[in-house]
Amino acid sequence: MESSEADSRAGALAHTPAVSDALVLFGVTGDLAFKKIFPALYGMAKRGVLNIPLIGVASSDWSQSQLHERITSSVATTDAIDNNNAAHRIALEHLLSLFVYVKGDYRDTATFDAIKHALANAQYPAYYLAIPPALFATVIQCLGANGLSCNGRVIVEKPFGRDLASAQELNAVAGSVFAENAIFRIDHFLAKEAIMNILYFRFANSFLEPIWNRNYIASVQVTLSEKFGVENRGAFYETAGCLRDVIQNHLFQIVALLAMEPPSHRGYDAVQNAATNVFHAMRPLTAEDLVRGQYQGYRAETSVAKDSDVDTFCALRLYIDSWRWGGVPWYIRSGKCLATSAAEVTLWLKPPPLALFADATSTTSPPNYIRFRLSPNTAIALAARVKQPGKEFVGDQRELLMIDERPQAETAYERLLGDALAGNNTLFTHKEAVEAAWAVVEPVLKKHAPVIMYKSGSWGPAAADKLIALDGHWHNPT
């Protein structure tokens, strides 16, 4: 290794800035930038919290005006935008004034020289990799080799690898150039208000702790359903599938928030360590724990193999071998082309030890539950039995709604971008957690049963109902 490269890496690993003073966006002409990042940057500009140089990098032969047109078009698709509103025009003009465009190949030293020139006097740059995962390692290594990683941080989009080995390899590359606290692995699911409220609701309320364990909770369900299909993303989905794309990251993160022990203290490290311990306690999956499905018509999608065995639906049974959760089954499912688009968590409580009332036995009445509605609207509810008026001891189960949807000032990407630029790691994923989560699914990534076809608009293959039959049935969001 040449001395300049070694010095650059040593500097990057030794120091992490408090606040970034420039943002370099690799993949600025791509779909992710158009759909998520530009609207987030616009929101930050409108709130007056974005005042740093923005450098867009891509291989497309674009002019500065073409990039501005792309940004303007993206922002115009944002909900509740009034193009004639003065505040909108001011925010958009400010955002455009911050952007410059650098054209170049991600493997070419000349591209990184141009980035260095565009950064000018910036001392603490952040690099956002909104590019295909196959290019992550290449760009990170080039940032280090060209002296751009010193005092910087890197923001990496999921997926973080496609199995345990590739995740470990990517983490090793990133860790050779940037300090761990300068590596921000984005999972936008974690920044959604409803997801953050799981953590808050659990640990801000003392009444939950006595029942939040295997003695009172019989089983847990997590459902993330999508009514639509792959929508022209067939090429990507052929390399991923539902288990990799949704469950191993998004839904496992929800499980960690539900299952973790109380963090030992306030702060990023305590929360991350508690979540990572959950992944370590998860029992590795077996083929008997997993049902894989594929919606009818998937193989006719663009760029999908005619004999594809890729899962567009997964249901699995998971166990967390800890003192708190030993023996409690966790049922997780997700899929495309299902009956509705929604995300919910349901924790089913065990029945009372003695059935005092005939209408409230475990065989005649549904169990009590706690329900978190995560999308498209949000709610936290408790289901409990309430006596009907009259002399007879007969009742109904009613939901007590504790919180419902409230307007969210920031989108998930706004919050994450702001946190990354500020150096706040709380809502980002640690490397040990990434690798531990991959270790859980590793046994079934290749050794599994073939996919089972299911009809669009259903709740997936019937085998998923058999998977959960011993512990009840799926709660289907409406």
- Letter string b/e over residues 223-244, b meaning 16 or more CB atoms within 10 A of that residue's CB: bbbbeebbeebbeebbebbbbb
Q: Give, in words, the CATH class of 190-471.
A: alpha beta
Residue 57's beta-bridge partner residues?
Answer: 26, 102
Going from the C-alpha of 199 to that of each of 136, 192, 260, 265, 426, the distances in angstroms are 31, 12, 9, 14, 12
Structure confidence at residue 289 (pLDDT): 96
Whether the bond between 376 and the residue before it is cis, its omega within 30 degrees of 0, is yes
Residues 415, 419, 424, 428, CA torsion sign: positive
- Summarised one tens digit per residue, pLDDT across range 279-332 is 999 999 999 999 999 999 999 999 999 999 999 999 999 999 999 999 999 999
Structure confidence at residue 87 (pLDDT): 84
Structure confidence at residue 203 (pLDDT): 92
Q: Among 188, 250, 430, 448, which one carries the catalytic annotation?
A: 250
Which residues, in sequence order, are CB contacts of 404 under 8 Å at separation 6+? 377, 378, 379
Structure confidence at residue 388 (pLDDT): 80
Structure confidence at residue 11 (pLDDT): 43
Which residues, in sequence order, are CB contacts of 199 under 8 Å at separation 6+? 257, 271
Please provide the CATH number assigned to the domain covering 3-186.
Answer: 3.40.50.720
**Amino acid residing at 115:** I
Structure confidence at residue 403 (pLDDT): 72
Strand order in the sheet with 153-157: 99-103, 54-58, 22-26, 125-129, 153-157, 183-186
* Length, in residues, of the chain: 478
Instruction: Answer whether 337's CB lies under 8 Å from 231's CB.
Output: no
Structure confidence at residue 398 (pLDDT): 87
Q: What is the pTM of this model?
A: 0.89
Structure confidence at residue 361 (pLDDT): 67
- Summarised one tens digit per residue, pLDDT across range 406-417 is 665 678 899 999
Alpha-carbon distance of 272 to 145, in angstroms, equals 30
Spans of all domains in the chain: 3-186, 190-471
Residue 188 is among the residues annotated as catalytic for this protein? no
What residues of the chain score a pLDDT lower than 70? 1-17, 79-84, 360-364, 404-409
Sort 99 into a burial class: Cβ within 10 Å, 0-12 / 13-18 / 19+: buried
Domains 3-186 and 190-471 share a fold: no
